[in-house]
Every structure is written in structure tokens, then in C-alpha cells.
A = this chain, B = another copy of it.
Amino acid sequence: MNTANPTAHAFDQAMHLQPLGDDRFSGHTSEAYANMVGPFGGATAAVLLNAVLQHPQRIGEPVSLTVNFAAALQPGPFEIEARPLRSNRSTQHWLLLQYQNSELVSSGTAFTAIRRPSWSEQELACPAVAPADSLPALDARGMLRWISQYDLRFVCGGFDPHSQQPLDNSLTRLWVRDEPPRPLDFLSLAAIGDCFFPRIFTRRQRFVPAGTVSLTHHFHVDSERLAQVGSAHLLGQAQANRGHNNYMDQSAHFWAADGELLLSSSQTVYFKE
């Protein structure tokens, strides 16, 4: 853990972008966030969002983000185009395109806005679960590299491919934070929002070919509130609604430890089973 120099965190290194002008940025895949094929999707979603955050014409903060994973990135450099499509005084719509060797590897859209105080209500209560410090952290040794960048503490719906005992459903609840700890911001939340293993793994308790094809985040709070959360664990919950003919959706939500909903997310995941 290096709190004195937060840019030394592997996540910040993975997020690093060099502005090239004309809405273009160059970045480089991070070995620390390597997945089965290409980087962890959460890291890709986050680095696309970072191009928006780094853009000199940005207005406001992220409210929604959609990222589509079109092809596996190879280890190495990539380029992101983040183009403001339409802006007014307080809102902005963005197009996101990521290329590697001139081929499109991911696409997306984002919406940023200046939010103002309003009537406010949270309908989706945080589930009552055992606190993070009462649960063991997942031992990520021997697992894919990106998993060891997180401290994951499963409340239910863990994954043990040796059990050969399918679960009754795909519901997972877990506590999660960056490992080593890092203060929460839009980038780390965008990545954490994709931290669940494919729901088919959880339901079936075995590996099958699977991968997210489209991910959408709805952010509920601003950067000030995220900074207050700091490096504490978030409670995450994910469940499939339906898997059918190679595609399964997932609804996910993340709360701060005090019960405040920070992120609602959904995704479509390819699977072969």
C-alpha cells in the first residue's frame, strides 16, 4: 500500500492516458489487470471513462456509462477517442471508441452532468449482511491476475469450481475494495462495478466460456461523496434475470457501508453451456 503516492497504485497506472489532441488519448494495457483473454472488463470500462474525465471540454460528472466489448485487447498500447457529441450548459453526451492496431476493440457512450440538490430517495435498501471485517478475504493466489487487485469477501454466492455442486440461483453478495486500498472515485467504481464473476459460474459452480459484451452503469452520487467513502469496502450484489441461448443478463448494485446506493449496473454476458 502506498498512500503517500497514490499514482503508484496499479489501478492508477492502468488508468494512465496521454492526450493526443483532437479527442484522442493513448493508453497501455496493465498486466496487473489481466483477465483470461485481454484485460479485466472493469479496467477497460474505467479507462474509457477516464478519457471523458481527462477531456478539456468535459462538463459535469459521470451519470451513465455504457461500454461494449467488441474484441479482446492484446497486451500493449491502445488509443481512445472520446468525442463530446452534444453539450449544453449542464449536460453532455459522449461517444467512446477504443482502437488497437487501428481496429475497434470497444465502444461506448457516456452522459455527464452538473447535478444540483433535489428531492432525493433511495428505494433499494442495502441488504443486511455480516460486516466485511467478519468475513475472510478471497485467497486469489493462482487465480487470474485482476482478481488479486481486489479484496473480495463473499457473503453468499461464492465460486468454487471444485465443489461440482451448482447453487440454486446466481445471487452473489460480496464486500469489495481495491487491494491495496485506494480512495474511491468514478474510475475505481466503474471498474468495481464489473467485479462479479459471470453469473453462469456462480449458478453452475464451474468454468464455462463466458464474457461481458455490454455493460451499463448508472452512477448515483458525485465525486465528493465517493471521496468520503474512501478506501472502505463496498457491498455489491449481482444476480441474473435470465440466461437463454448464449446470453445472460446481470443486474448489480453497490452500496457504501452506511447503506447508501452508489451504483446501479446491468450487463449482457455471452456464455456457452
**Given A91-B213, A220-B249, A243 and B66 touching (CB < 8 A)?**
no
In chain A, residues 90-126, which have Cβ atoms closer than 8 Å to a Cβ of chain B? 91, 93, 95, 97, 103-105, 107-109, 111, 113, 115-124
Flag A240-273 by CB within 8 Å of B: 1 or 0 each.
Answer: 1111111101010100000001001010101111
**Neighbouring B residues of A218 by C-beta, 8 Å:** 214, 247, 249, 266, 268
Q: Does A169 contact B (CB under 8 A)?
A: yes
| Contact A107 B104, beta carbon cutoff 8 Å | no
**Given A68-B93, A266-B218, A243 and B86 touching (CB < 8 A)?**
no
Question: In whole angstroms, what is the CA distance A109 to B124 when docked?
Answer: 28
| Contact A273 B109, beta carbon cutoff 8 Å | no
**Neighbouring B residues of A245 by C-beta, 8 Å:** 115-118, 120, 221-222
| Contact A122 B246, beta carbon cutoff 8 Å | no
| Contact B241 A124, beta carbon cutoff 8 Å | yes
Question: In whole angstroms, what is the CA distance A66 to B65 when docked?
Answer: 10
**Neighbouring B residues of A244 by C-beta, 8 Å:** 115, 118, 120-122, 220-221
| Contact B216 A266, beta carbon cutoff 8 Å | yes
Q: Does A30 contact B (CB under 8 A)?
A: no
**Neighbouring B residues of A111 by C-beta, 8 Å:** 68, 213-214, 268
**Neighbouring B residues of A271 by C-beta, 8 Å:** 118-119
Question: In whole angstroms, what is the CA distance A170 to B123 when docked?
Answer: 8
- The CB with the most chain B CB atoms within 10 A, among A91, A105, A200, A244, is that of A244
**Given A222-B245, A244-B220, A268-B218, A107 and B120 touching (CB < 8 A)?**
no
Number of A residues near B (Cβ < 8 Å) is 62
**Neighbouring B residues of A169 by C-beta, 8 Å:** 123
Nearest opposing residue in chain B for A63, CB measure = B247
Spell out A's residues near B (CB within 8 Å). 63-64, 66, 68, 70-71, 85-86, 91, 93, 95, 97, 103-105, 107-109, 111, 113, 115-124, 169-170, 200, 203-204, 213-214, 216, 218, 220-222, 239-247, 249, 251, 253, 261, 264, 266, 268, 270-273
27 contacts across the A-B interface (CB closer than 8 A): A64-B68, A64-B214, A66-B66, A68-B111, A85-B104, A95-B95, A95-B97, A95-B107, A109-B214, A111-B268, A115-B244, A115-B245, A117-B245, A118-B246, A118-B272, A121-B240, A121-B244, A122-B241, A122-B244, A123-B239, A214-B216, A214-B218, A218-B247, A220-B244, A221-B244, A241-B253, A264-B266
| Interchain residue pairs A-B with the least CB separation, the first 4 | A115-B245, A119-B273, A124-B241, A70-B86
